[in-house]
Structure 1
Amino acid sequence: MRNRHKAVKDPGKILILRLSSIGDIVLTSPLVRVLRRRFPRAAIDFVVKADFAPLLEHNPNIDTVHVIEPAAGLTGLWHLGQTLRNARYDIAIDLHKNFRSRFLVHACRARRVLRYQKHVWRRGLYVKLKLNTMRQAMPIYQRYLAAAAELNVADDGAGTELFWSHEHEQEAERAAQQHGISRGQALLAVAPGAGYFTKRWPAEYFAELAVQLAKHYSDFALVILGGPQDAEAGRAITNAVAGDNVIDLTGRCSLLASAVFIKRSRLLVANDSGLMHIAEAVKTPVLMLAGSTTRELGFFPQRAHSRVLENQTLACRPCSHLGYDACPAGHFRCMRELTPALVLAELQHMLRLARSAEELHDC
Structure 2
Amino acid sequence: MLGDGLAVALGVLGRRPSRLGRGSLRSLRVAAMRNRHKAVKDPSKILILRLSSIGDIVLTSPLVRVLRRRFPRAAIDFVVKADFAPLLEHNPNVDTVHVIEPAEGLPGLWQLGRALRDARYDIAIDLHKNFRSRFLVHACRARRVYRYQKHVWRRGLYVKLKLNTMRQAAPIYQRYLAAAAELHITDDGVGTELFWSHEHEQEAERAAQQHGISREQTLIALAPGAGYFTKRWPAEYFAELAVQLAKHYSDFALVILGGPQDAEAGRAITNAVAGGKVIDLTGRCSLLASAVFIKRSRLLVANDSGLMHIAEAVKTPVLMLAGSTTRELGFFPQRAHSRVLENQTLACRPCSHLGYDACPAGHFRCMRELTPELVLAELQHMLRLARSAEELHDC
Scaled by the length of structure 1, what TM-score is found? 0.99
* 1:6–1:112 Cα contact (<8 Å) kept: no
Runs (4+) of structure 1 exceeding 4 A deviation are 1-7
Greater relative contact order (CA < 8 Å, ≥ 6 in sequence): 1
1:2, 1:109 within 8 Å by CA — same for their partners in 2? no
Report the alpha carbon displacement of residue 244 of structure 1 after superposing the two structures with TM: 4.1
Shift of 1:75: 0.1
Output the CA distance in 1 between the equivalents of 2:47 and 2:273: 48
**Match in the other structure for 2:16:** none
Could you tell me which of 294, 297, 300 is aligned with 2:326?
Answer: 294
Task: Please give the per-residue CA displacement for 1:112-136, whole angstroms capped at 9, x wherever unaligned.
Answer: 0000000000000000000000000
Q: Deviations over 1:215-243 (max 9, x none)?
A: 00000000000000000000000010111
CA distance in 2, matches of 1:185, 1:241: 18
1:167 is the counterpart of 2:209: no
CA contact (8 A) 1:5 1:111 kept: no
- Deviations along 1:160-207, one digit per CA (max 9) or x if unpaired, are 000000000000000000010001000000000000000000000000
SS at match of 1:3: helix
Percent of residue pairs bearing the same amino acid type: 94
**Bigger CA drift: 1-10 or 130-139?**
1-10
Structure 1 residue 7: deviation in Å? 5.8
Question: C-alpha separation between the residues in 2 aligned to 1:45 and 1:265?
Answer: 32
Task: Write the distance in 1 (CA, Å) between the matches of 2:339 and 2:36.
Answer: 43
2:345 is aligned to: 313
Match 1:344 to one of 373, 376, 380: 376
Q: Is the 8 A contact 1:4 1:113 kept in 2?
A: no
Q: Deviations over 1:3-60 (max 9, x none)?
A: 7687621000000000000000000000000000000000000000000000000000
Aligned 8 A contact 1:227 1:250 in 2: yes
Is 2:56 the counterpart of 1:24? yes
The 5 Å alignment of 1:139-154 reads 139-154=171-186
* SS, match of residue 266 in structure 1: strand
Corresponding residue for residue 55 of structure 1: 87
Contact 1:6 1:111 in 2 (8 A): no
Which blocks of at least 5 consecutive residues in structure 1 are unaligned?
A: none
The 3 A distance-change label for structure 1 pair 6 and 134 is farther
Partner-residue secondary structure (3-state), 1:315: coil
CA contact 1:2–1:111 (8 Å) conserved in 2: no
Q: Which is helix-richer, 1 or 2?
A: 2
Q: Deviations over 1:38-90 (max 9, x none)?
A: 00000000000000000000000000000000010000000000000000000
User: Is the 2:191–2:313 Cα contact (8 Å) retained in structure 1?
Assistant: yes
Q: Determine the structure 1 residue equivalent to 2:67.
A: 35
2:233 corresponds to 1:212: no
Structure whose CA Rg is larger: 2
Whole-angstrom CA distance in 1 between matches of 2:387 and 2:75:
43
**CA RMSD across the alignment:** 1.2
Q: Is the 8 A contact 2:39 2:122 kept in 1?
A: no
Give the match's secondary structure for 2:77.
strand
Segments of structure 2 that go 5 or more residues without pairing to the other structure are: 1-32
Q: Name the TM-score, length of structure 2 as normaliser.
A: 0.91
Aligned partners of 1:304, 1:352: CA distance in 2, in Å? 15
**Cα distance change, pair 19–4 in 1 and its aligned pair in 2 (3 A):** farther
Q: How does 1:1-363 map to 2 (within 5 A)?
A: 8-363=40-395
